[in-house]
Chain A
Amino acid sequence: MINRMILRFLSVADNVGLARVAVAQLAAPIGFSLSDLEEIKVAVSEAVSNAIIHGYQGRADGWVEVVASVVDDELTVSVEDWGVGIADIAKAREPAYSTDPERMGLGFVFMESFMHSLVVESAPGRGTRVEMRRKAHVGALSRDVQ
């Protein structure tokens, strides 16, 4: 099974739901359970929300690009923005770290926990790209052994 999707939209909050449902729809046929798909939706929602909130700092005129592909039993999703970028990626990925006092700093935690791998590339002033992968058929993720 090979399928691929590119979704490009403006940085408005209404598109977060669109992106997570589109990715879940693409991922469904390769054997994910309904609860797997719910977890994938959360991961996509976090990445796209970050692009909007942090990348473009709430501006509604930035582009966000989601590329999703399924190859055999693996889903790969990337979310990219061309916003402010991240100065210290390791710091940003720490649980409970947020540059916004109103937020919880759990977005990267959810992406890591609900997917099998997470790669973050970013440069200040250039933008951010996160790539996440998850295989179907590997059973429940063991979150307590991380």
Chain B
Amino acid sequence: MMEVMQRGEGEPMTIVHAVFSERLLVAIKGELDLKVAGELRKTLDQLIDRYPDRDVTLDLSEVPFVDSSGLGVILGRYKRLSAAGRALQLTGVRPPVRAVLDLAGISQLLSVQDYVPKSPVR
């Protein structure tokens, strides 16, 4: 049978961040759906408020799945940030996530960079 479980599927969401002089980098791991939407919103808002004036990059390399509940949280943070003149950028976007972003027209709204597989270590 074909393997339909993706990496990270069914595991709890984790969020780690790194702070740079002009940029807040937030790496999210897990599926972004109704189950985690509330916690994701709360955590991102706390980080956005704790590090004001910085642009924000969400690294989605470890996000195998996003539906409209997860997307709503990302778009809501985009609105908050852009109202304050701050940019939001998405990196490490995997193909299934990209399909959802494109359909929602989000790719036209903010900078979206696709996932690039790491070159193997020699």
Q: Which of A35, A49, A113 contacts B69 (CB 8 A)?
A: A49
Indicate if the CB atoms of B35 and A28 lie closer than 8 Å. Answer: no
Indicate if the CB atoms of B4 and A25 lie closer than 8 Å. Answer: yes
Indicate if the CB atoms of B35 and A16 lie closer than 8 Å. Answer: yes
Indicate if the CB atoms of B99 and A38 lie closer than 8 Å. Answer: yes
Kindly state the interface size class of chain A when it binds its partner: 20 to 34
Chain B residues with a Cβ closer than 8 Å to the other chain, count: 25
Measured in the bound complex, the distance between the Cα atoms of B71 and A53 in whole Å is 16
Indicate if the CB atoms of A104 and B1 lie closer than 8 Å. Answer: no
Indicate if the CB atoms of A102 and B96 lie closer than 8 Å. Answer: no
- Point out the residues of chain A lying under 8 angstroms from B10, CB to CB: 17, 21
Indicate if the CB atoms of A113 and B103 lie closer than 8 Å. Answer: yes
| Residues A15-71 near B (CB distance < 8 A) | 16-17, 21, 24-25, 28-29, 34-35, 37-39, 41-42, 45-46, 49, 52-53
A97 at the interface (CB under 8 A from B): no
- Point out the residues of chain B lying under 8 angstroms from A21, CB to CB: 4-5, 9-10
Measured in the bound complex, the distance between the Cα atoms of B10 and A46 in whole Å is 17
